[in-house]
């Protein structure tokens, strides 16, 4: 991977989009690297949480690469949108949780990348936005869909139609991010949350992600039926037995073994 740095700390993977001279903008090479990263993460049973951030102090990901997009034909534009959407769906459906540590500009494709993660933590210098209508296009990597689901259709339409950027405090107020930290505290906070999640039973955490993500797209009766199956699937695992036995014996559970 040319444009992604990967660090592993116990059961947490920290991936950094590393194209700082272009404010970490997403071109085809970066999308290919993200795709490779997600395949590697999914294939590694030791990784239980992914933290995704951007290099430098200015940007998480400032957007898709305008230079690459500017000369695309209609057919090429649709193909580029599909390329980004395929990668972001792979991130969204990654079995383990993903935390976006948004350390600066998260515009266009950067905002869409953050929204494909499960949780968004940001620095007080973060800026979110979908500026595409100001460039003569629509959001192309899922922005029209995920933003509406996160903040509601009315707010999403306002932000997308106006192409207006918002700062961290407003992103927090409307529910686009989960928490705001001083810049120097962002990565420690993201890693602490990731470590907290990683200490819980991995089979159960993955089942919770599946239940929430898939259940949101179902009628309630189908969604609770999905939950029942996933709930049942946790029983008879070694981690469930240890967790409940430790509770009954009033002791700390042993480290979960993901089995």
Burial of 57 by CB count in 10 Å (0-12 exposed, 13-18 middle, 19+ buried)? exposed
Kindly report the pTM of this predicted structure.
0.96
User: What is the overall mean pLDDT for the chain?
Assistant: 97
Over residues 155-159, mean pLDDT: 98
CATH architecture assignment, domain 4-198: Alpha-Beta Complex (3.90)
Over residues 142-155, mean pLDDT: 98
- CATH placement of domain 200-248: 1.10.12.10
pLDDT tens, 64-117?
889 899 999 999 999 999 999 999 999 999 999 999 999 999 999 999 999 999
- Does the active-site annotation cover 132? yes
Q: Above pLDDT 90, what percent of the chain? A: 97
Task: Give the pLDDT confidence score for residue 64 in this predicted structure.
Answer: 87
Query: Among residues 29, 40, 57, 112, which one is catalytic?
Result: 112
Query: Among residues 57, 68, 132, 249, which one is catalytic?
Result: 132
Over residues 12-37, mean pLDDT: 97
Tell me where in the chain the CATH 1.10.12.10 domain(s) lie: 200-248
Tell me where in the chain the CATH 3.90.226.10 domain(s) lie: 4-198
């Amino acid at each position: 991977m040319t444009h992604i740095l990967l660090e592993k700390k116990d059961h947490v993977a920290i991936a950094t989009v590393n194209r700082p001279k272009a404010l970490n903008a997403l071109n085809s090479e970066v999308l290919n690297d993200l795709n490779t990263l997600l395949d590697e993460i999914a294939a590694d049973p030791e990784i239980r949480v992914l933290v995704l951030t951007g290099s430098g102090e200015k940007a998480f990901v400032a957007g898709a690469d305008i230079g690459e997009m500017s000369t695309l034909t209609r057919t090429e534009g649709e193909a580029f949108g599909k390329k980004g959407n395929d990668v972001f769906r792979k991130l969204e459906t990654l079995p383990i949780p993903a935390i976006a540590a948004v350390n600066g500009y998260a515009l266009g494709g950067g905002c869409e990348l953050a929204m494909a993660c499960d949780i968004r933590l940001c620095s007080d210098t973060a800026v979110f936005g979908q500026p595409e209508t100001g460039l003569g296009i629509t959001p192309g990597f899922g922005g029209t869909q995920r933003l509406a689901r996160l903040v509601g259709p009315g707010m999403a339409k306002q932000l997308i139609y106006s192409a207006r950027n918002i700062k961290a405090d407003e992103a927090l107020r409307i529910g686009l991010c989960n928490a705001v930290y001083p810049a120097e505290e962002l990565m420690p906070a993201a890693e602490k949350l990731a470590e907290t999640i990683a200490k819980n039973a991995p089979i159960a955490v993955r089942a919770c992600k599946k239940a929430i993500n898939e259940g949101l797209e179902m009628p309630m009766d189908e969604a609770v039926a999905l939950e029942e199956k996933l709930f049942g699937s946790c029983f008879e695992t070694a981690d469930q037995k240890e967790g409940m036995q430790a509770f009954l014996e009033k002791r700390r559970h042993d480290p979960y073994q993901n089995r």
